[in-house]
Structure formats: C-alpha cells, structure tokens
Structure 1
Amino acid sequence: MFAHHALGATNFDLHPTLRPYGESIVEKCDGLPLALKSLGTSLRAKTNEEDWEELLNSKIWSLKDEGGILTALRVSYQELSACLKQLFAYSSLFLKDYVFEKEDLILLWMAEGFLHKLTTGDPMEMERLGEIYFNELLSKSFFEYVDDDKSLFVMHDLMNDLAIYVAREFFLRLDLEMKNKYEGDTLKRCRHMSFVRERYMVCKKFKEFESANSLRTFLAVPVVSRNSLELFFLSNKILVDLLPQLPLLRALCLSKLMIDEIPESVGDLKHLWYLNLPQTRITHMPDKVSNLYNLQTLIVFGCEMLKKLPDSFLKLKNLRHFDIRDTPLLKNMPLGIGELKSLQTLSKIVIGGENEFGLSRLKNLKNLGQSLSIHGLEKLQNGDEARVANLSQMSLRELELEWSEVSNIPAKQTLAKEVLDVLKPHRDNLKNLEIKSYEGIDFPKWVADPSFERLTDVSINNCRNCEFLPPFGQLPSLKKLYVGNMGDVKEVGSLFLGTGRAFPSLEILQFFDMPMWEVWSINGCALDAVFPCLETLHIEKCPKLVQVSREALPSLRVLSIVKCDYVLLKSVVCVASSVTKLSIGRISGQEEEDVQEEEEEDLTLWGGFGSEQEEEDVQRFPTSLLPLSSSLTSLSLIGFKKMESISEGLQRLTSLQQLFIIGCPQIQDLPEKLLPSLLSQYFSNINQELKEKMESRSSSYWPLLSRFLAFNIMIE
C-alpha cells in the first residue's frame, strides 16, 4: 500500500535504494492504512533518498501521541505547506462524519481570505485555486470521498481529531459533547466557531459569545445521522443581540434553522463575505443587505417562504455566487443584477415582475460559469430578446430553461423554438441541461448535438406539444436521461437513437407519464451498439406502451415498471439478462392465462427482486415474473391485497437474506425453507393469525426466527 501511494507501484523494484526507508516508515505507522496512504502521497513524485530520509528522521516521530493523535498523522500534517495547514485546520469546525461538498468548503475558504489572488486576470482565480488546494488535500487523504459518490466528501475520524488538535484556541466547535469546554478568555481569542443545531436554541446558550468580538466565522452545522425532517428553532433574540457584537464577522451560516426573519443589523457587518441562509423560513431579506459591498456569496436556496429581496443589488459589486434555487414565491429580481460582472453563479432568474427583468440584462455577465435557471420564457415577445443574452459566451455547467405553461397556439409554438434555438449555451463546459414546459412541437438541433461532449445529465419535462424525442443517443457522455410528461409522443425509435453507437455512456434512463406512447423500437442497431452501459431503467405511467423490440440490455441491474401494461413487463424482462433488482407496481392486463403462458418461456435468471405490485386479484405469488434463482438475496412484497400464499415458488430461494412483506393482509404462511438464510425481515400489515404463528414458541416458525435479536412485525 505504501509503495502504491508513494511510487505508484506495487513494490520497490524500480527504486531499491528507497526500500529500507519505506520499510522503516511502515513500521513506524504500525500498519495503519490511513497513515500509510497519507504519508505515501506526501512522498509522491519524490525519489531522492534525502527526501525519504528527512521524513523518516523527522523529530515528530520522537514525540508522544498527544490527545490521542497518531504521530504518523502529525508527520503527514507537517509535510503540508503553510497554506494547506491553514485550510485543513478550518475543517475542524465540522463534526465527525459530516458530509460536505467541495464547492461549499471552497466558498468558506474564500470568505476567510485564505485564497489570495495572484493578479493573473482570471476572474475565477480564487475558485480555481481553492479547487487545486482541495484536490491536494484529497490526494493526501485529509479528505475522502463518500463511498462511490464523487461529489460528496467526508473526513476520517482520525483526521477530524487531528484537525481539532492543530486548530488550537483560534477554532471552537460548540457541539453536544464539547459545549462546556470554553472558559476564561477563550472566546476572546476565538476566530472561528461552529455550533450544532439543536431542537430548541435559546438565548442563554449564546449569551457568552457576545464577548467573542474577534469572531470571523459563525456556522450552524447539523448533527450527523439525525432525522432529515427534524426542525431546529433559533430564538430571533439571539441574532438581534449577538450580531451587533460581532463586527468582524466574515462568514455567517444559519442553514436549516426555523427563523422567520434576519435582523436589519446584518447589513452593518461590513466585513461579511459569506451569508448562507438556506432552507429557512424567512419571507424577505433586509434592505440593508444591499450595503454589504464585500459580500461574495449569498445563498437563500430552498427558502420556500421568501417573497422579497432587497430592491437593489447595485452596491454588491463583489458578489460572485448568488443561489436562489427553490424559491417558488420569489417573482421579482432586484435591480442591478445585470451589472454584477463578478457573478459566476446565478442559479435562477425570473423574467418580468415588478422590475420588468429582461434577458438582455444578462449580456454583461460573461463570467457565469456555474449554474443558471431561467423562468418565464413564455413572456418573451421575440427571439431577439433571448439572443441579446448571448448564453454562448458563458461557460455554464448547469442550465435550466422553463416556460410556465404549454400553449397550443401555433405562433407561440414557433416562437418557443426560436427562443430555445438562440439560447444555445457554450458547449465546452455544460454538464447538466433541463428543459421544462417547452411550448414547441420539436427541438432545435443543438439540444442533442454530439459536440456537447461533457453533457452528462439531461431532463426534459412537460413538453407536451412534442411528438418526437431528440436524438439523445448521439451525446457521447450522457449518463442520466429523464423524459417526463410528454403527452404527444407515440413512438420512440431510430430518431431517438441518432446515428452511430447509441447512448454509449448512458447509465440511468427514466420515462414518466407518457400516456400516448405505444412503440419503443431499437431495431436496426447492432446488439452491442445500444445502451451498452445502461444500469437503471424506470418506466412509469406509460399504459399504452406494449410494442418493445427485444434487443439485449446487457448491463441492466435495476428495472422498475410502474402503472404500465403486463405485455411491457414481459417484453423488458426477456431482454434484461443481468437484472439484480426488479420493482413492479400496478401492472394492468395481467390475466391468469398470461401467468401460465409465461411459465413456459425460457427467461433469463437474475439475482434480486423487489416487487411493488398492487394487483388486488393476485392470490398467489406470480412466479412467472420471477425466474427463480438460488442467488436471490432480497425480496419485497408490497400491496398484494388478496395474496394468500407465497410458499409456492419461493422455496428455492436458499440465498435470500432480506424479506419485506408490507400491505399483504391475507398471507397465511411463510416459506420455511428460506427462513434459515435470512439476515433481516420486516412485516407490516399482515393478518393476526400469521403474526401469532410467528410469535408463538410452539409454532414451526419459532426455531427459525428466534435466533434474531429482533424482527419487526406491525399490524395496521
């Protein structure tokens, strides 16, 4: 492991002189993987013996482990540059297991002044520099990915301990376990503070912080692994009393707190660079916020009650990131938005309103490089209004375009296509495209142009006038495609696939609410030329779709079919040779003779099944839907209102580990042969007789279930 991270090799054969140093370092690390990885990456690209000898002979090795901090990790920390040490210490404000996004941490670093401009003339210099520093800390294991999600990060518990250790007295984390660990003049020395959100936060808890008048950071952070629906209430008096005592504050985060308003005094925090108020209950922003001329980041994402912003943003010349996603009541844009030439993120704009905001005001925002959402496109009178915005000059990563309604008037349909055509974004950076309620009858060519080589996510929704889907199969990097509420689409075929190898990278495909869709054909293409990487397919509310060409889906693992015809289910199952999870709900057209006929077909085996079928007429488990496999590990039965028996056909599932039965009140027995292999089970809304059998010590089920410490049984 150490050789891999230090030399990019499995051994020291190419660098034999470094082997003795490597062996000694591994010995000092006591074989701890995190320490080996961290120290190994610190030596990456260093092949001089002097560098390895210097690390091995560092005086820090001779120090005792202080505060439970492993010496090897302290050595790794000492190898960081002064700037990286500062950035890492800042993460001591986060709780253990706290999951964060790279961009969020970089914005905080910027607010604290940790990312200094190099005067290169690059308007996004600080953000790029922050990303370089973050990736370096990531490569040295100070941060880690959350499982396989490359957009979320976490700190190892030992690294979190190290961050607290090196942060010393200038950082304070007021969590449920540490809230009483400050005394004397600790608060006066403190520069950066975070506090854990609690159910009720009263004035007494924060009273002493009024003396922390050198505080630069005041962050609300969540308790990890708590109910995401839990509410956190902060007394408004706390903000009224506390904020005036923190004149040097640079970063203020009150995320997800149940507060109704922000005191006007926030506008007096002249040094404030970062104001984060997402998912609060505020209805308006104080007008004095417009006086925060140093403000770089303003976030009101998810403030569903927010109706009003300050009338003017003309003084916010340094604003770089303005996130107002998911604010449905916000109908007016403040004056001056179009003059903020430093803006990189403008997550939403609303055309029209009291200030008559027009797309032409975007023409000066050449640095927009994050996300942009445009609402109210139906208000445009001609394509020239959209053309002036010149989206092609912006290096956008995410773009959402939305009309408020779908019109059947031909003139509006023609205008909609003209508008969408001139709103073509720059192709080099776009990764996410979403189009809602588009009024046109077809799409401009750019929507599926293969020159958009970085486009990975596409969603088209409620475009009810369109009869055909664009050739999305031509997009070389497309990984996720959502198509919903397309009322006039009857056939999805060769036009959808485009030319060449279709959907070479697509992993997730979702169709929703397409009531007129009848035919889905991929005939005419080579078996390995269509959906070679498709892993998840979801089809819902497509009742007329019965003609599906039987071409292979070799990579499909997850298949979900809800509120569709039984013929579709049979057709797709036949070509899904590798499915490991199957979800079915409200399948129509299933007759008993269909079941018998299906049992005679040669279907491919799969290793997992999750049924959400709600057919009330099914009295026994429809084994035709499950070519039974001994490798099956998970089974869910939900909503079989009249099913009485599940033993038949399930006795061969000897590898089953999870069994969930919900909403099946007539089931009278369980397949006894599969019970010994279960690791977990959950039963809800089952009949009283079966419940008594499972709980009775004299029943045949008891020896098979009593080995569990607990199993859940609920009667509704």
Structure 2
Amino acid sequence: MGGLGKTTLARILYDDAEVKKHFELKAWVSVSDQFDICNISKVILQSVKGEGKELTDQNLLQVALKNQLKDKRFLIVLDDVWSESYDDWQTLTLSHDDAVSLFAQHALGADNFDSHPVLKQYGEGIVEKCDGLPLALTVLGRSLRTKNEEEEWKELLNNEIWRLGKTDEIVPALRLSYNDLSACLKQLFAYCSLFPKDYMFDKDDLILLWMAEGFLNTSSSNKSMERLGVEYFEELLSRSLFQHAPNNKYLFVMHDLLNDLATSVAGEFFLRLDIEKVKDFRMETLEKYRHMSFVREEYEAYSKFKPIKSATSLRTFLAVSVEMEDSWEEFYLSSKILVDLLPELPFLRVLSLSGYFISEVPETIGSLKHLRYLNLSRTLITCQPENVGNLYNLQSLILYRCNSLSILPINFSKLKNLRHLDIRDTPLLSNIPLGLGKLKSLRTLSKIIIGGDNGLAIAELKDLTNLHGKTHIKGLEKVEIASHASEANLSQKRLSGLELEWSDVFNDSRKKSLEKEVLDALKPHGESLIKLGIVSYGGIEFPDWVGDTSYLTLISVSLRGCKHCTSLPPLGQLPSLKELYIEDMDEVKAMGSELIGTGLAFTSPEVLELGNMKRLKVWSTDVRVVSFPCLKKLVIRGCPNLVQVSPGALPLLNILEVSECESGLLRKLVQVASSVKELRIESMLGLSDVAWRRVIEYLGGVEVLSIIRCNEIRYLWESEANARG
C-alpha cells in the first residue's frame, strides 16, 4: 500500500549519520513495477563504484558487483518493490561461500564442514539446490540438526522433490523440510494455513486452538496437553518454521513462503476466506470442510457466510486479523450470523468472534455441545447466556478486554472441563459466582475476585491444584480470617505472576495486623514466580517472604498504594530483580538500606520507578560502591521532599525522567549519570535559569530532551557546543 511513509522512513535511516558510519558502501535503488535484474545490478554498481554503465551483460555485472562488495559491510535499499516472484529475487541472494557457511551454522553449529568431511559433499550439493535462498538454507539446515549419518544427508540430496522443482511456487527445500516433520507436527503446521500472511502468533493461544481441535494427544505421555503443545511449538520454532516477531518478544511470525507452504499442504479440509471466496465453490464441495477462518472486515454481512450453512461438519469458525490488538479499527458482525448460522454448525469445536462490536451472545450457543474453545475477547458483551454452562466440553473461555462485561453465568461451575479462563481487563466484572473451586481442571485463571456472602471465598482456591501462569487476586479486604487465606495454598501453585490487591479505600474497618497475616498466608511458590505486585495493602510492614532470597526467578516487583507501610521490604536481596516500581507509599520517609542485599546495592535492576512518594526525604546508599551498575531507566515523579540523595554512580543510565520534584534532585542525579541519552523533566519545583545552568553542565551526552511546564526556564544552551542533538 502506497503513501504510508515507508520510503520516508527508510530515507531518514539511510541518511542518518550513525548509519553512515556503520557501513562502508551504500546504495539506493528505486525498483518500481519492473523488476529488472540487469538494471538493478547496474544501479547498485554505479552507486558503490561510480561506474558500470558500460556493462550490459548480466553475468559480467554480477561478477563486478561481487568483487566490489566482497569483504565489505554494505547497505542496499531496494525501494518501491512490487515483485513477489522467487525467480526475480534469487540472483540477488547469497554467494556460494556465504550460503555454505549459513547452512553449516544451522545444520552443524559450525561455520564450515571442516569437522564433518564426510558430510561436506552432500552439504554443498544441498546448498547448490537451494539457489542461495537464506530461508531455504536456514529451514533445511535446521531439519538436519539432529541427523549426522551420511545416508540421511545423501537421501536428502537425492530426493525426488529436487527434480520436480517448484510446484505452486513452493521452494523445494521448504517442502523437504515439511516432509521431515512427524505426522503430528505436520498437522500442527498445516493448521497455521488458517492465518493470513504477516499474522502475529501468540504461542499460548495457538496451543489452546491445537488443544481444542484434538491435535495434542497425551495418551502416550504423562504430560499435559499444554506442556505437549509448548514442546511441539518449540520444535517448529527450532526448525525456523516460526520466527520471533521483530518488535515484540512475546509474539511470533511465519515467513510468507512458509505460509504458502502451509496452505499448500493443508489439503481440502481447510478454508481461508482471504484466499478463496465461498461463492466460487459448489455447495457439495463445502460439505467437506472442517476448518474455516476469515479475516475481519469492517462490516460482515450474512450473505458472505450463508453458503457455510452447507458445511455442516465444520469444526472451526475463526475470525482473525493482521491488525494488532490495540488497533483503532471497528468491526461489525451481522446478528443474523450468530442467530441463524451458528445453530447450523453443531460440530464446532472452535468459535472465535474476537474483536467484533457484538453486544450479546444468542441463547443458541448453548447447543454447541462439542465446543472447546470460545473467544469473545474485545467485544461489547455485558453478560453471557446461562446455558453457556451446558458447554461441558469447553476447555478455554477467552473474555479478555470485554470492557462492558459485568457478570458471569450463575451455573458457571458446571464447566467441569474448563482449563483456561481469561478475564483480564474486565473493569466492570466485580463478582465471580460461587463454586469456582469445583472447576478442578482450571490451569489459567487470570483474575480472582473475592466476594462477600454470595461471592467466591478465598478458601475455594485450595482445590485448584493445577493453577499456574499469571493471576490477579482482588478484594482481599473481604478476607476476615487469615487461616482462610492459608487454605488457598498458593505456596503449592506454580504461578509465574501474582498480583494481590486490597481496596483502595482506607477507613476504620481496615485491620492492619490482619492484613499482614493475610499477606503472609498468601506466600507464593518460590521457584516459578517471575512477577509480583502488591496493591493497596494496609499493613504497617511487609511479611518476611516479600524480598526473601529464595525467590531466585523474581524479575519484576511492584508495590503500589500501600499507604500505611513505613518502610520498604529488603528488595535488595532478590538476586534476579530487573524492574522495581514503588508508588503511593505515603509513610515511607527514607530508603537506602532496604535496597542493599549482601553488602551491596542492587546489582541487576535495569528499571526503577518512584511515584507519588510525598514524604520521602532521603535516598542514600554507600557512595563507595557502584550501587546500580545495570540501571538503564530511572523515573522519579511526585517526590517533592526528596532532597537528600546519594544513589552512587549510575554508569549505564540511558533514560532519566524527573517530574514534580525539587530542582536540586535533578542536579544530583545528572552528576552521577553521565551516560544519559534521553532526559525528560516536567513541572520541576524551583528550576530557575540559575538552577538550569547547573544542570546543563552535565548534559553533554543527551540526545533527546523534553522540558514540560518548567516556566522559569528562559533559555536552553548558551551555545550549541554544549549539547549533542
């Protein structure tokens, strides 16, 4: 799609001074509609050498270009490319030596075949057949990672698929890598054909889909379906059939060519409506389909899906989108689709209507007895029909970001096979029905709301022995006896994330000593916890387990709104802590020793944020040591009395944000943080021209500066030499 600014962004990076320093040679080629290898090669050669017009032979151009670029770090931008043909691209790919090296890295974990001379002839032969395509070399190399026998490599080199060449534009090497998969992995890979190109896969959700389809057979293993799914996914990832998403470490993508391969091997039981339109099929043809997906459109009319009525054996009705979840786009689905179509699909196992502006779910959904996966996330539903409790095969119920959802069905406890309940970001949901503890198969319960007489009691959690992952327990002020919290038995549950929250209303009914006993009784398991949050806790001090050295895997801690606490727990003892957030702790006046573990301050934290600490006056550590050697980001806001500061050196601090604090604090921080590249200051108290001059003496390395509501500053620098950028 044109006009989005892709070329502008590429040009900014291409012309950037730091980019220029990094590359010895650069070339920019505007390709447009005609992908002409000769012309492209000629332009590149002219850009890096200043000559090449006289060469018209493609082979001579390629030789000259190879000689010019050999052993040099270079950047080439091909702008305005519309060609998707594999043949057009292969002549601009890796050299033979580089291809051999890449293949050896993935197949043998080495740069060459020196340590495997017997395999060398087969390896080089395979590389030749891959035509220098990096994806093919990577995927096929990964498939050979566990094969060290000569016969196995020879068999691959002589495989009939090479002779057949490309079929349906599928690269032979990729088809060979698919053939190497086990029958189960082939099925899981083919299932990915339901997702469009550029789709961002969430590993956990994909595993839930595989599970619902019955693909994760645990009969020959004592592992759970979820564990088996993780292992299968990691196997596909290790073979480079999935890749990590470029800008999100929690998501994954599939290369377009691999998406084509999945579509090719999926066979006649899979239908993706962005590839093929239903109107092109005969009604009797539709009857054979088992799995169907469709890319969300702004308005979905009943006519689009009416032919699906004949697909009575359909197991999957899956709405997908390449848009990120926080997209501003709105999608509307005809209610007739829900009322008239769904009852005609009695064998559905997977139903996802995520992202549509749906306000209610029809009663007929309770008739889908085979349903195992129901995703209504990011819809406008306020409740669900009571007969949802009839879905006794349901394994996963996804209600994430249903902002209007206020109630769950009373007979919710009938869902005996429910394993995953995602009710994150449902702000209006204030109660969970009694009987949740009867759902002994539950493994994921993202939010637990402790109720009064007619709500969930915390002791009900004792029977949820399989609970793991992340959970948020709210309403802890309703726990009247600490022993009931002990019965929840959190210390035996393998939680990776735990947030414990009391009411933010601090009145006479709050009992400080009881709340400490309750928090003590909710001590989580120490070997799996990665993230801990404690919110609006009313005790004066924290129990001993908060900050205990036994939490070896704890990476992130957040303490918010604990208004009665007079001191921080000994967080400096946590060996793996990287992120610490402290906010709205009104009674804490000094900190320092709490941040020191075995004689030294934090050695691993990379992010530290202090917010609205109104009475905090002193932050001190031993100035003789490097207190925060790894700290990269420091945020301090709303700490107007923090004037006695000696955090020690901050050698790696890159981002510093200070707001609603005394100007003297800013000056002390920049003095010990010479590496700051981004500085943001806002609403600083007493930051006059004189005070600002004292600050900028230490800002020589700052590249990004934001000054907001600092009205007394009338100038920045006396000369440009004082700043970089």
TM-score, length of structure 2 as denominator length? 0.82
Q: Answer whether contact 1:466 1:486 (CA < 8 A) is retained.
A: yes
2:139 and 2:642 map into 1 onto residues whose CA distance is 54
Shift of 1:180: 5.8
Does 2:177 correspond to 1:76?
Answer: yes
What is the aligned counterpart of 2:719 among 645, 649, 658? 649
Shift of 1:88: 0.8
Q: In the alignment, what sits opposite 2:281?
A: 183
Does 2:241 correspond to 1:142?
Answer: yes
1:117 and 1:598 map into 2 onto residues whose CA distance is 64
Does 2:709 correspond to 1:614?
Answer: yes
User: Comparing 71-80 with 179-188, which one deviates more in the overlay?
Assistant: 179-188
2:568 and 2:470 map into 1 onto residues whose CA distance is 25
2:532 and 2:325 map into 1 onto residues whose CA distance is 33
Shift of 1:406: 4.7
Q: Answer whether contact 1:576 1:604 (CA < 8 A) is retained.
A: no
Shift of 1:589: 1.2
Shift of 1:336: 2.5
Q: In the alignment, what sits opposite 2:141?
A: 40
User: Comparing 408-417 with 469-478, which one deviates more in the overlay?
Assistant: 408-417
Q: In the alignment, what sits opposite 2:110?
A: 9
What is the aligned counterpart of 1:399 among 480, 498, 502? 498
Shift of 1:90: 0.9
Q: In the alignment, what sits opposite 2:18?
A: none
Q: In the alignment, what sits opposite 1:426?
A: 525
Q: Secondary structure at the match of 1:542?
A: coil
Amino acid at match of 1:171: F
Q: Answer whether contact 1:416 1:439 (CA < 8 A) is retained.
A: yes
Q: Secondary structure at the match of 1:502?
A: coil
Q: Answer whether contact 1:371 1:399 (CA < 8 A) is retained.
A: yes
Summarize the alignment of residues 524-673 of structure 1 with structure 2, pairs less than 5 Å apart. 526-527=625-626, 530-598=627-695, 601=697, 603=698, 605-606=700-701, 608-620=703-715, 622-623=716-717, 649-650=719-720
Shift of 1:498: 2.9
How much identity, in percent, do the aligned residues show? 55
Shift of 1:606: 2.1
Residues 408/265 of structure 1: CA separation in 2 closer, same or farther (3 Å cut): closer
Shift of 1:354: 6.0
1:32 and 1:598 map into 2 onto residues whose CA distance is 54
Residues 120/161 of structure 1: CA separation in 2 closer, same or farther (3 Å cut): closer
1:651 and 1:236 map into 2 onto residues whose CA distance is 65
Amino acid at match of 1:614: R
Residues 406/610 of structure 1: CA separation in 2 closer, same or farther (3 Å cut): same
Q: In the alignment, what sits opposite 2:366?
A: 267
Q: Secondary structure at the match of 2:446?
A: strand
Q: Secondary structure at the match of 1:312?
A: helix
Q: Answer whether contact 1:535 1:558 (CA < 8 A) is retained.
A: yes
Shift of 1:361: 0.9
What is the aligned counterpart of 2:594 among 485, 495, 514? 495
Q: Secondary structure at the match of 2:293?
A: strand
What is the aligned counterpart of 2:127 among 26, 29, 35? 26
2:538 and 2:234 map into 1 onto residues whose CA distance is 43
Query: In the TM superposition, what whole-angstrom CA distance separates every residue of 1:592-643 from its partner, at most 9, and x where no partner exists?
Result: 22233445x4x364252231422233332x23xxxxxxxxxxxxxxxxxxxx
Q: Answer whether contact 2:701 2:723 (CA < 8 A) is retained.
A: no
2:381 and 2:456 map into 1 onto residues whose CA distance is 23
Q: Answer whether contact 1:260 1:282 (CA < 8 A) is retained.
A: yes
What is the aligned counterpart of 1:201 among 300, 323, 327? 300
Q: Answer whether contact 1:232 1:256 (CA < 8 A) is retained.
A: yes
Residues 436/595 of structure 1: CA separation in 2 closer, same or farther (3 Å cut): closer
Residues 562/67 of structure 1: CA separation in 2 closer, same or farther (3 Å cut): farther
Q: Secondary structure at the match of 1:373?
A: strand
Q: Secondary structure at the match of 2:356?
A: coil
What is the aligned counterpart of 1:438 among 524, 533, 537? 537
Q: Answer whether contact 1:583 1:611 (CA < 8 A) is retained.
A: yes
Query: In the TM superposition, what whole-angstrom CA distance separates every residue of 1:255-284 from its partner, at most 9, and x where no partner exists?
Result: 121101111111111111111111211111
Name stretches of at least 5 consecutive residues in structure 1 with no aligned partner. 624-647, 657-716
CA RMSD, Structure 1 to Structure 2 (Å): 2.1
Summarize the alignment of residues 284-363 of structure 1 with structure 2, pairs less than 5 Å apart. 284-353=383-452, 355-363=454-462
User: Comparing 282-291 with 504-513, which one deviates more in the overlay?
Assistant: 504-513
2:694 and 2:527 map into 1 onto residues whose CA distance is 52
User: Comparing 284-293 with 562-571, which one deviates more in the overlay?
Assistant: 562-571
Q: Answer whether contact 1:406 1:464 (CA < 8 A) is retained.
A: no
After superposing on structure 2, the runs of 4+ consecutive aligned residues of structure 1 that deviate more than 6 Å are 651-654
Residues 52/502 of structure 1: CA separation in 2 closer, same or farther (3 Å cut): farther
Summarize the alignment of residues 463-502 of structure 1 with structure 2, pairs less than 5 Å apart. 463-502=562-601
User: Comparing 60-69 with 421-430, which one deviates more in the overlay?
Assistant: 60-69
Does 2:291 correspond to 1:192?
Answer: yes
Q: Secondary structure at the match of 2:710?
A: coil
Q: Answer whether contact 1:21 1:53 (CA < 8 A) is retained.
A: yes
1:410 and 1:289 map into 2 onto residues whose CA distance is 38
Query: In the TM superposition, what whole-angstrom CA distance separates every residue of 1:561-582 from its partner, at most 9, and x where no partner exists?
Result: 2232222222211222322222
1:378 and 1:411 map into 2 onto residues whose CA distance is 7
Q: In the alignment, what sits opposite 2:464?
A: 365
Amino acid at match of 2:394: L
Shift of 1:252: 0.8
Amino acid at match of 1:57: N
Q: Answer whether contact 1:197 1:223 (CA < 8 A) is retained.
A: no
Q: Answer whether contact 1:406 1:465 (CA < 8 A) is retained.
A: no
Q: Answer whether contact 1:77 1:85 (CA < 8 A) is retained.
A: yes
Q: Answer whether contact 2:354 2:378 (CA < 8 A) is retained.
A: yes
- Flag the structure with higher helix content: 2
Shift of 1:106: 0.5
Shift of 1:181: 7.2
Amino acid at match of 1:22: G
User: Comparing 203-212 with 503-512, which one deviates more in the overlay?
Assistant: 503-512
Q: In the alignment, what sits opposite 2:155?
A: 54
Residues 343/584 of structure 1: CA separation in 2 closer, same or farther (3 Å cut): same
Q: Answer whether contact 1:398 1:431 (CA < 8 A) is retained.
A: yes
Q: Answer whether contact 2:490 2:522 (CA < 8 A) is retained.
A: yes
Amino acid at match of 2:704: F
Name stretches of at least 5 consecutive residues in structure 2 with no aligned partner. 1-101
What is the aligned counterpart of 1:212 among 304, 307, 311? 311
Q: In the alignment, what sits opposite 1:130?
A: 229
Q: Answer whether contact 1:345 1:368 (CA < 8 A) is retained.
A: yes
Residues 516/84 of structure 1: CA separation in 2 closer, same or farther (3 Å cut): same
Residues 653/263 of structure 1: CA separation in 2 closer, same or farther (3 Å cut): same
2:331 and 2:509 map into 1 onto residues whose CA distance is 50
1:38 and 1:128 map into 2 onto residues whose CA distance is 24
2:704 and 2:279 map into 1 onto residues whose CA distance is 51
User: Comparing 610-619 with 21-30, which one deviates more in the overlay?
Assistant: 610-619
Q: Secondary structure at the match of 1:303?
A: coil
TM-score, length of structure 1 as denominator length? 0.83
Residues 490/179 of structure 1: CA separation in 2 closer, same or farther (3 Å cut): farther
2:160 and 2:419 map into 1 onto residues whose CA distance is 44
Residues 410/284 of structure 1: CA separation in 2 closer, same or farther (3 Å cut): closer
Residues 287/545 of structure 1: CA separation in 2 closer, same or farther (3 Å cut): same
Q: In the alignment, what sits opposite 1:108?
A: 209
Shift of 1:583: 2.1
Query: In the TM superposition, what whole-angstrom CA distance separates every residue of 1:656-714 from its partner, at most 9, and x where no partner exists?
Result: 5xxxxxxxxxxxxxxxxxxxxxxxxxxxxxxxxxxxxxxxxxxxxxxxxxxxxxxxxxx
Shift of 1:314: 3.3
Shift of 1:526: 2.1
1:19 and 1:653 map into 2 onto residues whose CA distance is 56
Amino acid at match of 1:649: S
Shift of 1:651: 6.7
